[in-house]
Structure 1
């Protein structure tokens, strides 16, 4: 390991830190977000939520706990949950065509 810490820490101490870090590496994360839509326009709220959901879906064990007063976030969450439900039923959606049509 060649980092800034390795220059100021002895090899034995660095090995101990690495051992402890490897022992406590988590296999999932709990993301707690308070008012993610604060001071954002609706489109930015949707992008923010999409990023959070994408991060949460990296692992089946990941979780998000979120508080919001935004009707837009609630709507986007509902749509995302419905899309997930349809995906699990085997329904395939291709939004790339829709996005191309919107650009024209």
Structure 2
């Protein structure tokens, strides 16, 4: 189900944001608002998944949400790699335009 995959991916991304906030704490850093926003996204995503799949809202729903998010991201990777490969091949085989500055440099050196 698409809503489950989206909610899981949002929760997994928000969990990553929380880990980054935890890892970058310093005296000049104010992580309260981004951390509360990430927690809110995790709670809303877990609630949506628990209501969609008739699971009690709690750790089981959170685990199910994060697993669905990881699986959704894994399902997206092969098409993303195909698209990236096509873009890199197109860039690699494209002929670069002639640069007048390089021609001037070659004429001065020889």
TM-score (norm 2): 0.25
Query: Which structure has greater helix proportion?
Result: 2
Bigger radius of gyration, 1 or 2? 2
Provide TM-score, normalisation by structure 1. Answer: 0.26
Q: Which has the higher contact order (CA 8 A, sep 6+)?
A: 2
**Higher strand fraction: Structure 1 or Structure 2?**
1
